[in-house]
Structure 1
Amino acid sequence: MNMPLIAQAVRWVRALLLIGLPLAPLHALADTVTVATAATLRYAMDELSARFEKATGHTVRAVYGASGQFYSQIRQGAPFDVFMAADLEFPQKLVDDRVVPGPVIQYAEGRLVLLLPKGRSGADASTLLKADSTLGDLKAAMADGRLSRFAIANPQLAPYGLRAQETLEKAGLWQVIQPKLVLGENISQAAQFVSTGAAQGGLVALSLALAPQLAQATHYVLIDRNQHRPLQQGMVLVRSTEASRAFVAFVQTAQGKAVLRQFGYE
């Protein structure tokens, strides 16, 4: 066997591999960023992820739920890279307790809407609230039987649920509507209760009401922002990696903000 020829062939193979390495640096460096995502972002996140992946080569794994649940899970060491909450309080608590380094970055402000099922023909139509119903109509609807189930997210876990409670309290409806409440584990489940007819109405996020998946079965009335505390939403790095830092930066770009505006965020 000719050893010099073999050695020369090995050198050529190594040289060819080295030449080929710069051809695909993006794939070599690409990583996955796992984002604990408030349920209000369920549809906006699809678009954000797609644009981020196209721009950077990194991929996004979004896990949806209530901000309060994610707060507890992160404190217990859940392997998330970024926490996108539906408020500023939960991520700030993680920073204050030195669970994550911070800072908390406000990425959007959300809006609350009264979500109602679209009208149906036949006997069911008489049980529905009108398309232009307001908070003032809810009490009458409860009295005449049109409103027997009303959906909000669990106020103890979901910021949108807490703001819904504040809204109902300010309207003088909280005490009378409590027996009718159907609590979702998060705001997305509360919206699903309305869209499937499990509830005759609900207070949910505008970002969900604008999604085509819900717009086909529901309509909404925007709630005056003065009815509750602001829905300022914040994000924080849980684990600092190239991919997680790139994602947080991307959300703050003009492209990221455009996606959020598309889904009703301010």
Structure 2
Amino acid sequence: MAAALAVGLALAGCAGGPASDGAGDGATTAQVRIAAAADLKFALEEVVVLLQERHPEVRITTTYGSSGTFLSQISNGAPFDVFLSADLAYPRQLVEEGLADEEDVFPYAVGRLVLWAGDGGGLDPADGLPALASDEVRRVAIANPAHAPYGVAAVEALRSAGVLDEVEGKLVYGENVAQAAEFVQSGNADAGIVALSLVRSDPLRGIGAWAEVPLDAYPRLDQGGVVLRSARDPGAAALVRDAILSPDGADVLARYGFSLPGATDEG
């Protein structure tokens, strides 16, 4: 199982996700290329399955990674049709750059942080972030705050808990939040501050223990997407947006621990 999980999380940053190949049946008439924040790795795959049950003629290609990296790539001409960011500010920045229209920006979820300790660790996440200052904790995985919104949130949570100075030297950075979770799962980190959506996924459910980080400890993770002006088939790209915002899509996101935009968060 561990090997399978490592492969699954390694897909964050690579092309993946369910897709109809359309080979030999002439069914595929459109392709949509999605750049998606790594915290969506498992939830989005379920939404794509729902979409393709209704629109088998559309082929979906999904690349997972850090939102800041995608922002830079799209600004430099990377060929994506839909951008699903862990920070709503990034799609809005693409509007400012003339690469998307304001009416095509949509909030889709609010993310949450957890403190997660893998199997065999001596940390009890219920003790909260101050427990990371213990000498028994040697390495703490987070997403790289230079370009990952979950990394920024993790740093601010440590600052809010008053232990950033003590823990900073223990931090190991994943390229994105899924890779940070992989560090914990593999034992390369004793604990991690990662996305709730990942520890609720089938591959990670039941591994170690986790506890939510208080919502008032870090900036609200308002997540949003945008259909880009460069989309090869804007109508097909809009189907992705509609699937995520549909009641079925919202149900999937809720199962992975996301709050819906506009909902009142409870700590």
Computing the radius of gyration from Cα coordinates, the structure with the larger value is: 1
- The answer to whether the 8 A contact 1:209-1:219 is kept is no
Q: CA deviation at 1:137?
A: 1.8
Q: CA deviation at 1:91?
A: 1.1
Give me the identity figure in percent.
Answer: 37
1:71-220 matches, cutoff 5 A: 71-103=71-103, 104-118=105-119, 120=120, 128-139=122-133, 141=134, 145-220=135-210
- The alignment partner of 2:61 has SS state of strand
Measure, in 1, the Cα distance between the counterparts of 2:26 and 2:213.
Answer: 45
- The alignment partner of 1:163 has SS state of helix
Query: Which stretch shifts more, 178-187 or 210-219?
Result: 210-219
Corresponding residue for 1:247?
240
AA partner of residue 29 (structure 2):
A
> TM-score scaled by structure 2?
0.82
Corresponding residue for 1:17?
none
Measure, in 2, the Cα distance between the counterparts of 1:96 and 1:131.
Answer: 41
Corresponding residue for 1:16?
none
Q: CA deviation at 1:246?
A: 1.2
Measure, in 2, the Cα distance between the counterparts of 1:68 and 1:96.
Answer: 16
Q: CA deviation at 1:56?
A: 1.5
AA partner of residue 114 (structure 1):
L
Structure 2 regions of 5+ residues with no counterpart? Answer: 1-24, 260-267
- Aligned pair count reads 230
AA partner of residue 230 (structure 1):
R
Measure, in 1, the Cα distance between the counterparts of 2:250 and 2:29.
Answer: 23
Q: 1:171 to 1:68 in 2, by over 3 A?
A: same
AA partner of residue 51 (structure 2):
F
AA partner of residue 48 (structure 1):
V
Corresponding residue for 2:9?
none
Residue 263 in structure 1 maps to residue 249 in structure 2: no
**For each residue in 1:74-96, what CA deviation from the matched residue of structure 2 results, as whole angstroms up to 9, or x when unmatched?**
01111101000001111111111
- The answer to whether the 8 A contact 1:38-1:85 is kept is yes
Across the aligned residues of Structure 1 and Structure 2, the Cα RMSD in angstroms comes to: 1.6
Corresponding residue for 1:31?
30
Q: CA deviation at 1:29?
A: 6.5
Corresponding residue for 1:46?
45
Please, which of 214, 221, 228 is the counterpart of residue 218 of structure 2? 228
Q: CA deviation at 1:216?
A: 3.6
Corresponding residue for 2:69?
69
Q: CA deviation at 1:172?
A: 1.1
Measure, in 2, the Cα distance between the counterparts of 1:71 and 1:131.
Answer: 33
Corresponding residue for 1:11?
none
Measure, in 1, the Cα distance between the counterparts of 2:244 and 2:139.
Answer: 37
Measure, in 1, the Cα distance between the counterparts of 2:73 and 2:160.
Answer: 32
- The answer to whether the 8 A contact 2:141-2:174 is kept is yes
